[in-house]
Amino acid sequence: MLKTTGATFLAIATSFFILHFSPPPKSYYHSLFISSSLSDNASISHHLRTLTRRPHVAGSQANAEAASYVLSTLSACNIMAHIVSYDVLLTYPDSRSLTLTPSPSEPPITFDLKQEIYEGDPYADVADEVLPTNHAYAKSGSVVGPVVYVNYGRVEDYGTLKEMGVNVTGTVALARYGEIFRGDIVMNAFEAGAIGALVYTDRKDYGGEGGDAKWFPDDKWMPPSGVQVGTVYNGSGDPTTPGWASSEGCERVSVEEVESSGDVPLIPSMPISGADGETILRSIGGQIAKDNWQGSKDAPTYRVGPGPGVVNLEYNGKQVIATIQNVMGVIEGVEEPDRFVILGNHRDAWTFGAVDPNSGTAALLEVAQRLQKLQRSGWKPRRTIILCNWDAEEYGLTGSTEWVEENRELLASRAVAYLNVDCAVSGAGFHASGTPQLDDLLKLATQQVQDPDNSSQTIYEQWIQSTESSLIGRLGGAGSDYAAFLQHIGVPAADMRFGAGYPVYHSMYDDYTWIENFGDPMFHGNVAVASVWGLVALRLADEEFLPFNYHSYALELQKRAEDLENEMSDKGITFSPLFKSIEELSKAARKINYQKKEIKEAKGWTSMWRNDHVKLRELNDRLMMAERAFTDCDGLLRRPWYKHLIYAPSRHNDYGSTSFPGIDDAIENAKNLNTAESWHVVQHEVWRVARAVKHASLVLDGKLT
């Protein structure tokens, strides 16, 4: 007869308990999350219809009601939910007018500046709640001047006009939307000497080609009277509280100080329709614009001016300290409650906001409902998951920025990652951007979710077939709520969506009917976004080892540094300190990946008797904190709010950027000045980035020098 020792008996009993009574592995719940049994496109459709019944601009009663709906939905999912309010500076149009005098011999034309209701419009009863077309934070004033056509209003477009001998000083610039952020269009016009700016939606970009082109509601294209509104504020957050939260009774800077900051335009501006823009274009004479400045095939010939057409632009806005509301839902982690995986989407819209942003809000609520079903099945997250529904994003990423500024120290020490969805679906084709250590995680998630437009393949298979350039974009621009997390405090971040730009963006035609007919008719795209979004969040929240790979980061930085070195080959700039730091980062990434593997291999069913959790926690902290090391307390030159030295907006395009924004800004300045001092600044910026990359490698390595 065999003798059974106490230790052997305990091991047998433990094995029996694990086999018969332990909960399913986390991977079981992750598979369940993306299963068809949990997804619900009818529920998503209901959420979207409810959220978009009325226009709900930030600060309005309709938006407060939308916040209540989100709050009640999260609470119904047994998620601890609450509202965080801030009092921020918002602007609204008070009065505006635009008159064109085509020539001295012709009578003036007064534009009505209205977006037209179409026959059978289901939202005609609330159309008068849509704000009159305007630019948020536009300069109030009245200007009269000849018109100059400036193409997309980029810096290089003004360079072309200068080469043509066209003087912009004292004119009103007419630019078309399409390539850069509207705030930069106005800023560039001011710097070129213009006294006002008009921005229109050209048929070539938004209205469909050809004389027989149809538009919404018969097709997806922007109607001739459609206007893309939006902010022209180039900063982030409440302009009167730069760098701190707009809480009750807080310090505020004056409006004069806001204007002197350089983040708001100093000339009046107005968005106008394609039809009005074309009327003004017909009044412009002078030289014929270049071929790539021309419009659609049946458009008039575009000339650059100035004049003879003269416009009288009047705009008066009112500034209001208004209350905005972020809705926050928290699912507390059971093992690491002080580690946060954050999902965010904004709620406020310029008009009805079916695509932007409430397709994303509907997806967020879908994620919440699926997580509730997982909880009913026994799932509990290892780390805390926070669901955020931001307010006033459209004005300047305001709600998310104020929250990050208020909670900066806690987030800097505890946030694992931020996952953003803004416009969840505007068409076919998956797009994702993120910090490079999340690349593998994004790819893996899309390999597990079915493509909504082709059930025979995964999203990943569609993605790699349709992408001509790099698969995953980077978050250099300030286009959505990831900016404060990544670019201000250095939290790893990702952003995802189906579809690229869409024609009715920021117009009153971005309604439920448009998305039901053209954007996502069966709401399968919304289901797919929720699946990928939630799956990435679950892996970040549940996996013992954070699924970060900094080797991807090192490869990305190496490539960008090589591109810059080639560009600067004749300028005497040395990139050797940067290459050395990148090599150190690569070594540290390989080392921590090996350490992760070692701990994994050492963990068997007996690991419960070991003290591996301390090693695990310490390794995860290094993975989490390495991104913070890419920030610099001084921030970018003349843009101190942007602390991240790898990813931040371009100085002349808030929507776009490549890596190393400080180096790029310095190069742009040095090219203009071409002085020894300006090129010395470029070298200094290279050293700054090199130091930041070295700091990241030291964090990954986890040892003091």
**DSSP string covering 596-630:** HHHHHHH--GGGGGS-HHHHHHHHHHHHHHGGGGG
pLDDT digits (tens, 9 = 90+) for 221-264: 999 999 999 999 999 999 999 999 999 899 999 989 999 999 99
pLDDT digits (tens, 9 = 90+) for 64-118: 999 999 999 999 999 999 999 999 999 999 999 999 999 999 999 999 999 999 9
**DSSP string covering 194-221:** -SEEEEE--IIIII-SSTT---TTSSSS
The pLDDT, as a whole number, for residue 612 is 72
Give the pLDDT band (50/70/90) at residue 600: confident
Closest to 283 in 3D by CA, of 129, 427, 101, 462: 101
pLDDT digits (tens, 9 = 90+) for 147-199: 999 999 999 999 999 999 999 999 999 999 999 999 999 999 999 999 999 99
The pLDDT, as a whole number, for residue 608 is 43
Mean local confidence (pLDDT), 370-382: 97
381: its two tokens: 């997250």
61: its two tokens: 């009663």
Q: Where are the domains of the chain?
A: 51-89+321-434+475-525, 91-316, 550-701
- Judge contact between 446 and 532, C-beta under 8 A: yes
The pLDDT, as a whole number, for residue 611 is 58
| Amino acid type, 535 | L
Supply the CATH classification number for the domain 91-316.
Answer: 3.50.30.30
142: Cβ contacts below 8 Å, ≥ 6 apart? 268, 312, 313, 314, 315
476 has pLDDT over 50: yes
What is the CA 111 to chain-centroid distance, rounded? 33
The pLDDT, as a whole number, for residue 654 is 59
- Give me the phi and psi of 654, to 5 degrees please: -65, -20
1 has pLDDT over 90: no
**DSSP string covering 274-324:** HHHHHHHHTTB-SSBPPGGG---TTSPPPB----B-EEEEEEEEEEEEEEE
The pLDDT, as a whole number, for residue 14 is 39
Give the pLDDT band (50/70/90) at residue 605: very low
| Amino acid type, 388 | C
The pLDDT, as a whole number, for residue 8 is 43
- Give me the phi and psi of 302, to 5 degrees please: -85, 125
**DSSP string covering 11-32:** HHHHHHHHHHHSPPPHHHHHHH
Rg (the chain; Cα; Å): 27
State the chain's mean pLDDT as an integer: 93
Give the pLDDT band (50/70/90) at residue 389: very high
More confident: 603 or 282: 282
Mean local confidence (pLDDT), 526-545: 98
Give the pLDDT band (50/70/90) at residue 466: confident
On the question of a common fold for 91-316 and 550-701, the answer reads no
Give the pLDDT band (50/70/90) at residue 216: very high
- Give me the phi and psi of 132, to 5 degrees please: -55, 145
Residue 394 three-state SS: helix
Residue 543 three-state SS: coil
pLDDT digits (tens, 9 = 90+) for 16-43: 444 455 789 999 999 999 998 888 899 9
pLDDT digits (tens, 9 = 90+) for 391-448: 999 999 999 999 999 999 999 999 999 999 999 999 999 999 999 999 999 999 999 9
The pLDDT, as a whole number, for residue 478 is 81
Which CATH architecture describes the domain 550-701?
A: Up-down Bundle (1.20)
High-pLDDT (> 90) share of the chain, %? 87
Lowest-pLDDT choice from 509-518, 532-541, 603-612: 603-612
Active-site residues: which are they? 393
pTM of the model: 0.94
pLDDT digits (tens, 9 = 90+) for 292-349: 999 998 899 999 999 999 999 999 999 999 999 999 999 999 999 999 999 999 999 9
CATH superfamily of 51-89+321-434+475-525: Zn peptidases (3.40.630.10)
